[in-house]
């Protein structure tokens, strides 16, 4: 097992260096002079321009800038954001809990609805329930989520006035962030109504971000379940006279869940891409919106650091999924 | 063909391409959703082609006397503007009709580019092997490590926001899937007997790659093409929505949504209609894709 883990981690190192080169390269290729952008409308004198170029290290050879970048990355230093003058890493870390909270809620939403829906569809194959669930899943899978978000805002915020339009919590409440998770912080603050406010702000973004994972999980659960239900040991269990519920929930589900768990793990990339759109629509102060803003502001270090950190998160989660898969499925661990 | 008095034991199965097509259609048409998807897709294609005839107004014609008119079925609507008008008095229906051209164009270009380049790179990686293979696959891993939309967004930021650049970015982002599929298929086929036979017969490597092996790897690639056609439309619309795709006043559906955002609570139709167009188009293509998968690749069949 240890060997398996080490090999998997070893394979990540070249990808990590490649990702670092890519993140670094992107930003050097962005059009526009960062110093001029920094100076804004006032402009900057040539002498001051050169000084700033030197200060940020933009005047050194490309390869030296890259090695320097890599060296600092290893120490957890991703440079200073041009827009806010704060370290990129602390900017990212301050905003990441918002994205994480939203993503966790979205994936819970998707799993809690998707797995039972998939099981129901598989066990009642061909029925109207199956067709309805799979039809809905296909619609969800085809959904432009930025439009879906706007639609929900029109309905629930505009017409029904049930939920707020944007943000994480009502401006009435203010308390210092302890964990960065608004749901927990609002409870800790002890202020009346704060938790309810946080929940109501979270509902629509959760649904929007969770829609595509929900559809994917429902489809995957159904097909995995159908495959397993055709196996001999399920027939044996049925022949033994076990109740249908027990056959499905104990015998079939356990094995059917293995590919489903992999699918859930692979949704992390989908979630990060979805977070960009969801956070933009709902003005959710997370890393997705921050990345979009940074790209528009041409905030070189922020874009570079953000790209790198997000790619690392995706890689690490995929690694964990891989390892878990090896853990539950010995064939993968020892195979080849 | 002529009616015979007594049954003769002959193989009546047709052979050749026509028969293959007939067999494909038989499997494909079993899936009712897929057929509906196909018809709707053909409908959209016709709309795109004949947009100039079908649209009641030009996509950029502004009617200053009719700003934010609601659709005809709502109070205050006019028959002139079936789906209403936007904030500068342009007919929403006409813009959606012309917008279909952009979405289909994006899909076609992205899939063609990604497919051709992906097949070439994948064939080379699978066929040559060794360090070439390792290098190619590592590069693909790097592309896959970034969330696709974020990568596309960053690429468009470098290239400059426009529809063309959005297409290039999306094609690059979708590349790894084709490369991986082609490579896996090639590795699976490479050591089959028919390939060895061809090799022994003195077939040159290029011919071996494109004529002997490639046709046997096509099924999963066609299924992937359908899938990435719809993804390309979604991504292009998302980029347009973020202001990084087609630029206003282009009647691209995502761009239309971005322009409509500020009227979201005042004029629901300017927000709803372009989204419905995106959803239906993508849905039709995905339905078709499911049917293609069932018909072409029984192994992948979800039963």
Contact A273 B237 (CB under 8 A): no
| Among B148, B153, B234, beta carbon nearest to A292 | B153
A-B CB pairs within 8 A amount to 129
Q: Say how far apart CA B229 and CA A20 lie, in whole Å.
A: 30
Average pLDDT of chain A to the nearest whole number: 84
Q: Dihedral sign, CA of A174, A179, A182, A188? A: negative
The verdict on A198 touching B (C-beta cutoff 8 Å) is no
Across-strand partners of B91?
B85
More confident of the two residues A185 and B106: B106
Q: Say how far apart CA A234 and CA A245 lie, in whole Å.
A: 12
**Crossing angle (nearest 10°) for helices A2-29 and A62-74:** 140
**Per-residue pLDDT, B166:** 92
**Per-residue pLDDT, B298:** 59
Taking CA–CA distances from A309, the nearest residue in chain B reads B146
Contact B282 A142 (CB under 8 A): yes
Contact B264 A154 (CB under 8 A): yes
Q: Say how far apart CA A40 and CA B29 lie, in whole Å.
A: 61
pLDDT single digits (tens) B5-39: 555 566 555 667 788 788 788 888 888 888 999 99
| Among A150, A295, A314, beta carbon nearest to B154 | A295
Q: Say how far apart CA A218 and CA A210 lie, in whole Å.
A: 12
Contacts of A147 in chain B (CB under 8 A): 241, 257, 271, 274-275, 278-279
| Among A139, A276, A296, beta carbon nearest to B149 | A276
The verdict on B239 touching A (C-beta cutoff 8 Å) is no
Distance of CA A46 to the CA centre of its chain: 43
- The closest alpha carbon to B138, from A2, A10, A29, belongs to A10
Average pLDDT score over residue span A212-233: 90
Give A118's pLDDT tier (boundaries 50, 70, 90).
very high
Give A40's pLDDT tier (boundaries 50, 70, 90).
low
Q: Say how far apart CA A174 and CA A186 lie, in whole Å.
A: 9
Q: Does the pLDDT of residue B287 top 80, yes or no?
A: yes
pLDDT single digits (tens) B118-141: 999 999 998 888 899 989 988 898
- Taking only residues 40 to 99 of chain B, the set having a beta carbon closer than 8 angstroms to any beta carbon of chain A reads none
Q: Say how far apart CA A300 and CA A306 lie, in whole Å.
A: 10
Q: Say how far apart CA A142 and CA A136 lie, in whole Å.
A: 10
pLDDT single digits (tens) B260-272: 888 888 888 888 8
pLDDT single digits (tens) A188-221: 777 777 888 888 889 999 999 999 999 999 999 9
Contacts of B302 in chain A (CB under 8 A): 219, 222-223, 226
Contact B286 A141 (CB under 8 A): yes
Lowest mean pLDDT among A42-51, A262-271, B44-53, B134-143: A42-51
> What is the Cα Rg of chain A in Å?
24
How close does chain B come to A130, measured CA to CA in Å?
Answer: 13
List for chain A the helix, strand, coil content (%; round to 5): 80, 0, 20
Across-strand partners of B230?
none
Q: Does the pLDDT of residue B285 top 50, yes or no?
A: yes
pLDDT single digits (tens) B163-176: 999 999 999 999 99
Contacts with A167 (C-beta within 8 Å, 6 or more apart), sequence order = A201, A282, A283, A284, A285
Lowest mean pLDDT among A59-73, A132-146, B36-50: A59-73
């Amino acid at each position: 097992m240890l060997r398996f883990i080490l090999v998997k981690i070893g394979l990540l190192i070249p990808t990590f260096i490649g990702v670092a080169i890519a993140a670094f390269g992107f930003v050097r290729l962005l059009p526009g002079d960062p110093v001029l952008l920094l100076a804004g409308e006032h402009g900057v004198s040539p002498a001051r321009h050169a000084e700033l170029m030197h200060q940020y290290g933009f005047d050194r050879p490309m390869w030296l800038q890259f090695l320097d970048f890599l060296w600092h990355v290893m120490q957890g230093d991703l440079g200073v954001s041009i827009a806010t003058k704060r370290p990129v890493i602390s900017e990212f870390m301050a905003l990441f809990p918002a994205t994480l909270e939203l993503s966790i809620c979205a994936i819970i939403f998707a799993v809690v609805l998707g797995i039972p829906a998939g099981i129901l569809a598989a066990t009642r194959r061909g029925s109207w329930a199956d067709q309805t669930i799979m039809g809905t899943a296909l619609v969800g899978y085809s959904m432009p989520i930025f439009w879906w978000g706007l639609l929900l805002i029109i309905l629930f915020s505009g017409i029904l006035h049930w939920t707020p339009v944007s943000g994480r919590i009502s401006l009435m409440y203010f308390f210092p962030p302890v964990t960065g998770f608004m749901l927990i912080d609002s409870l800790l603050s002890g202020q009346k109504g704060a938790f309810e406010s946080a929940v109501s702000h979270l509902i629509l973004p959760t649904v929007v971000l969770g829609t595509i994972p929900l559809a994917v999980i429902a489809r995957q659960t159904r097909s995995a379940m159908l495959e397993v239900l055709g196996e001999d040991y399920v027939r044996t269990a049925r022949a033994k006279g076990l109740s249908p519920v027990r056959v499905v929930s104990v015998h079939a589900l356990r094995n059917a869940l293995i590919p489903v768990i992999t699918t859930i793990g692979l949704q992390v990339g989908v979630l990060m891409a979805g977070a960009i759109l969801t956070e933009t629509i709902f003005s959710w102060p997370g890393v997705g919106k921050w990345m979009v803003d940074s790209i528009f502001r041409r905030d070189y270090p922020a874009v570079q650091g953000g790209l790198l950190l997000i790619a690392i998160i995706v890689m690490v989660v995929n690694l964990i999924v891989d390892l878990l898969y090896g853990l539950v499925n010995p064939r993968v661990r020892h195979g080849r | 063909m002529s009616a015979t008095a007594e049954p003769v034991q002959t193989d009546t199965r047709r052979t050749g391409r026509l028969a293959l097509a007939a067999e494909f259609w038989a499997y494909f048409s079993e899936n009712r959703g897929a057929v509906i998807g196909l018809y709707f897709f053909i409908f959209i294609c016709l709309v795109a082609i004949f947009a100039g005839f079908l649209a009641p107004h030009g996509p950029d014609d502004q009617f200053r006397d009719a700003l934010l008119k609601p659709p005809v079925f709502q109070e205050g609507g006019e028959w002139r503007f079936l789906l209403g008008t936007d904030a500068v008095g342009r007919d929403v229906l006409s813009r959606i009709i012309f917008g279909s051209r952009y979405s289909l164009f994006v899909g076609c270009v992205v899939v063609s580019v990604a497919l051709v380049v992906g097949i070439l790179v994948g064939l080379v990686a699978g066929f040559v092997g060794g360090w070439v293979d390792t290098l190619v696959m590592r590069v693909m891993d790097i592309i896959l490590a970034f969330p696709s939309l974020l990568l596309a967004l960053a690429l468009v930021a470098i290239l400059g926001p426009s529809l063309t650049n959005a297409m290039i970015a999306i094609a690059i982002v979708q590349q790894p899937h084709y490369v991986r599929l082609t490579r896996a298929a090639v590795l699976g086929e490479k050591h089959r007997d028919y390939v060895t036979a061809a090799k022994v017969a003195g077939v040159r490597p290029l011919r071996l790659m494109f004529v002997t092996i490639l046709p046997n790897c096509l099924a999963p690639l066609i299924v992937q093409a359908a899938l990435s056609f719809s993804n390309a439309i979604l991504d292009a619309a998302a980029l347009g929505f973020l202001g990084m795709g087609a630029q206003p006043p282009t009647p691209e559906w995502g761009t239309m949504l971005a322009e409509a955002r500020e009227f979201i609570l005042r004029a629901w139709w300017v927000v709803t209609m372009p989204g419905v167009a995106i959803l239906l188009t993508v849905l039709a293509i995905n339905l078709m894709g499911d049917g293609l998968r069932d018909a072409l690749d029984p192994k992948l069949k979800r039963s």
